[in-house]
Structure 1
Amino acid sequence: MRRLLTPKRLLWALLIGVLLLAALTAQEFRLFERAWFPVQEWRHAAKWRGESIWLPDYRVAIEALPIAGLSDLSALAYDPERKTLFTVTNKNSQLIELSLTGQVLRRIPLQGFGDPEAIEYIGPGLYVITDERAQRLIKVRLGEGEAPVSAAATEQLTLGIGMNGNKGFEGLAYDAAGQRLFVAKERDPVRIYEVHGFPQLNPELPYAVHVVDDPARDARLFVRDLSSLDYDARTGHLLALSDESRLALELNGDGRPISSLSLLRGQHGLRRSVPQAEGITMDDAGTIYLVSEPNLFYVFRKQAD
């Protein structure tokens, strides 16, 4: 005999469906891991605080400062020689130098870069820029002035790993001591690659590139995407920025998250949530700089104990 679907049974079926949908959503957005992480921070604060960047101690000092004349900022890098910042725009392909307070110092046209998405300082006058869609890494040299920079006849590396349209290389970071270039793949899946041998710093040595991939490490990143990276030479730790999760994570040398900086309203002194975080970097003093599309500039400083 067919059992009738009574209102009570229908209610239970709907409730189970809602719970399953909620569980799937929580898993997709990594909500369980993110909710548990502040407990881990609190439990290990005494140990981690003294040997890390320790993002919970940071508070916003400059919030959502509009950068005049720009509309599509992407990425951020600190130049310790010039004591300035560099960012790129991908719609009209420009390299922009900024002061540490967010003022535009110069604009340099980029020619032949396709879809520039990230920039990283390698050494005096030397940078690497990514072409996101083509997954190209392009070495450039900058002098003074605003003469255009061309991608032609420069050292380049195309990786072509898991190419899937506009979800390519979104972030760069460089470990000068280890001569490692960290490259962040945005999503589907989130990945952080270590590239050894590019750019080639000693032309007298044989050209050899080695790429290290660690899916198990990357699976611990409870973020929806990656939009930027930065390497802290003092601790050997990485900063990983996620636009969709509105979060910056500090990763230790093993790639484990140990502290976080929430970009939501009410956190770390923010009056409003950061709308679309695209670039993060640190200077020699540990000050954190962040840019968000379309043209917003932020500074976070560590508070005294």
Structure 2
Amino acid sequence: MYYSPNLNLTRKLLAFSLFIALSACGGGGGTTPTVVPPATIQNHSLMVSLTGAGSGQISSTAAGISCGSDCSESYAESTSVTLQQTAQAGSTFNGWTGDCTGMGACTFNMSIDRSVTAEFIVDATPSENDLAVTVTGSGSVTSDPVGIDCESDCSETYDSATEVSLTAISDAGFTFDGWSGACSGTGECIFDMSVDRSVTATFVADSGTNQNTLTVTLVGSGNVTSDPVGINCGVDCVEDYDDNTVVTLSANPDSGFILDSWSGACTSNGACVVTLDIARMVTATFTAVGQTSVLIEDYVAAGSVITISQIGSDASGITWHPGIEQYLIVKNGAATIYRYNENFDYLGQISISSIAQDTEGLSWVEDNEVLVVSENNFAYKVSIDEFVTSVNGSESASQRYRVAQQPTGNKGLEGVATRKATNSQLVRVYTVQEGDNTGANSSTSKKIFQFDMPDPDPLVTLSFEDGSLEVTQPFNADDVFGDQLRDLAGLVYDPRTNHLIFLSERNKTGVNVLQVDPETGAIISELAVSGAGQFEGVTIGPNGELVFVSEPNQVRVYELN
């Protein structure tokens, strides 16, 4: 075998090197040192996400996250990170999900990979509601925030979240007497505008100011009371009030009588409000129900035909609302009611929801209640005051009545009339089905229905079908009207005579209005109206005038001759 002479030398050198190394560490009997490798630092990732329809930004401490633009970062293990949210204008932060939850602070340790989502939502657009202020006496009211400055500007629209504070300012010689409506007492008047609101500020004359006398006279059987108190006529018919006091008189007919009219400082048969800037005299005339001699044949056309341009077309029914002193005209096919004052100046409109589109007639009932009928043979009772801009005919919001089976074709309910309640009688409702002159046995013949309104309202639909609403026909309309009226377009109850006045859009003999006894169907008087388009509705105005509305958009007034 081959033997290298250098191998033995190499072995000796290695052994010597090992000896030297062991000696340096304490010799052959010492401890061998432990060699420690350098520590390795581990990183973890953080992912941030934004969700929702709103806008916002997330930042972090420790620095690294600025999300919208930079939404991920790597952090050394065990780093403590806090996320901060900032919502942009028009948005609201709606909470964390992922490694943070809820609405509170978002802080965590980066011991593992983490992810967090922040939700931003769009702020709700606030709804708007109306504030109406009335001043009684001599003074004014201002608001914070601005909007009300009532002497001149007494109404304003505010966002529903707005808090409004009203301040009453008395004129010289007057003292603020208190709030009523949305506020009461004489202290602060502060409220939110979550609903439409009305407030009245009353100012009274200081003692020692001038006084004026109010004298009330009665004709017929009834009495008159006042607000503020003082008049109770039958017993006390004369009262002195401080100068400029506004007095409201209320007529209270005895059984079997109705208020026929006011005269003197008040006129017509509506509300009687008197300002006592001088001495005033008022007469209240009461007449026995059904005993007056008012006949429609004695009415004549007054003035020119009035065009109500705001409606455009399809005016279908009219009623006078004495509580707000306005005419209300309903349009079919659009479910809209239009407001007009006594002179037919336009005042605004009311949208109708949850009522069949083909609204054909309406009638004031009492207080602010108005009954609307549609061609599907339903009636809906809604509330209308001087401020409302929409009404809802749904079962949860109004009283509904199903009067009759819906006929075929366009021949359903066309008009409605109401007789006010008395101490012994409920409100009586009369409605007419248009009919098509096919005879009494036809499902689409002319019909008159009547029913009494339950009191109080059950706020569920009452129907002739299940017997919850008792509907009758007081007489056969085809037998009564068949020789004169081709159809029935509208009607109104006349409290002066206890009669019904029926209107036809088409006639056979030239006569298109009939005055009828509602119990027997006996025709009392006749009238031919003309000068406008197709007549669709009739009401009695504040001064006893007969007011007719016609398609497309005209009004014709007849006055007692």
Same fold, TM-score > 0.5, yes or no: yes
Task: Report if the CA contact (8 A) 1:169-1:185 is conserved.
Answer: yes
Give the whole-Å Cα distance in 2 for the aligned partners of 1:230 and 1:59.
Answer: 18
Give the whole-Å Cα distance in 1 for the aligned partners of 2:476 and 2:552.
Answer: 34
Give the whole-Å Cα distance in 1 for the aligned partners of 2:479 and 2:353.
Answer: 36
Following TM superposition, by how much is the alpha carbon of 1:84 offset from its aligned partner in structure 2, in angstroms?
1.9
Task: Look up the match of 1:144.
Answer: 386
Task: Report if the CA contact (8 A) 2:369-2:383 is conserved.
Answer: yes
CA deviation string 1:233-264 (max 9, x = no partner)? 12100000000116111002422111111024
Following TM superposition, by how much is the alpha carbon of 1:99 offset from its aligned partner in structure 2, in angstroms?
1.7
Give the whole-Å Cα distance in 1 for the aligned partners of 2:417 and 2:470.
Answer: 16
Residue 189 of structure 1 pairs with residue 431 of structure 2: no
Which of 498, 506, 513 is equivalent to 1:244? Answer: 506
* Structure 2 letter corresponding to 1:64: V
Task: Report if the CA contact (8 A) 1:107-1:146 is conserved.
Answer: no
* Structure 2 letter corresponding to 1:128: L
Task: Report if the CA contact (8 A) 1:109-1:146 is conserved.
Answer: no
Residue 293 of structure 1 pairs with residue 558 of structure 2: no
Give the whole-Å Cα distance in 2 for the aligned partners of 1:91 and 1:62.
Answer: 30
* Structure 1 letter corresponding to 2:349: R
Q: How does 1:113-128 map to 2 (within 5 A)?
A: 113-114=355-356, 115-128=358-371
CA deviation string 1:251-295 (max 9, x = no partner)? 02422111111024xxxxxxx4x3200110113532111111111
State the TM-score, normalized to the length of structure 2. Answer: 0.41
* Structure 2 letter corresponding to 1:113: I
Equivalent pairs counted in the alignment come to 244
CA deviation string 1:145-183 (max 9, x = no partner)? 353212122211123336123110001000113421001
Structure 1, unaligned stretches of length 5 or more?
A: 1-49, 265-271
Root-mean-square deviation (Å): 2.4
Give the whole-Å Cα distance in 1 for the aligned partners of 2:326 and 2:342.
Answer: 6
Shift in CA distance, 82/151, structure 1 to aligned 2, threshold 3 Å: same
SS of 1:62's equivalent in the other structure is: coil
Structure 2, unaligned stretches of length 5 or more?
A: 1-290, 436-443, 463-467
Which of 216, 230, 245 is equivalent to 2:492? Answer: 230
Shift in CA distance, 73/217, structure 1 to aligned 2, threshold 3 Å: closer
Structure index of larger Rg: 2
Task: Look up the match of 1:35.
Answer: none
CA deviation string 1:208-241 (max 9, x = no partner)? 5211114435511131001111001121000000
Give the whole-Å Cα distance in 2 for the aligned partners of 1:111 and 1:249.
Answer: 33
State the TM-score, normalized to the length of structure 1. Answer: 0.74
Residue 111 of structure 1 pairs with residue 365 of structure 2: no
SS of 2:305's equivalent in the other structure is: strand
Give the whole-Å Cα distance in 1 for the aligned partners of 2:406 and 2:334.
Answer: 26
Task: Report if the CA contact (8 A) 1:55-1:250 is conserved.
Answer: yes
Give the whole-Å Cα distance in 1 for the aligned partners of 2:308 and 2:479.
Answer: 35
Give the whole-Å Cα distance in 2 for the aligned partners of 1:285 and 1:231.
Answer: 15
Following TM superposition, by how much is the alpha carbon of 1:79 offset from its aligned partner in structure 2, in angstroms?
1.3
Residue 201 of structure 1 pairs with residue 445 of structure 2: no
CA deviation string 1:169-211 (max 9, x = no partner)? 00100011342100100013111111123xx33248x985211
**Structure 1, 155-164 or 90-99: larger mean CA deviation:** 155-164
Percent sequence identity is 25
Shift in CA distance, 284/52, structure 1 to aligned 2, threshold 3 Å: farther
Following TM superposition, by how much is the alpha carbon of 1:63 offset from its aligned partner in structure 2, in angstroms?
3.0
Q: Which has the higher helix share?
A: 1
Task: Report if the CA contact (8 A) 1:93-1:109 is conserved.
Answer: yes
Shift in CA distance, 131/64, structure 1 to aligned 2, threshold 3 Å: same
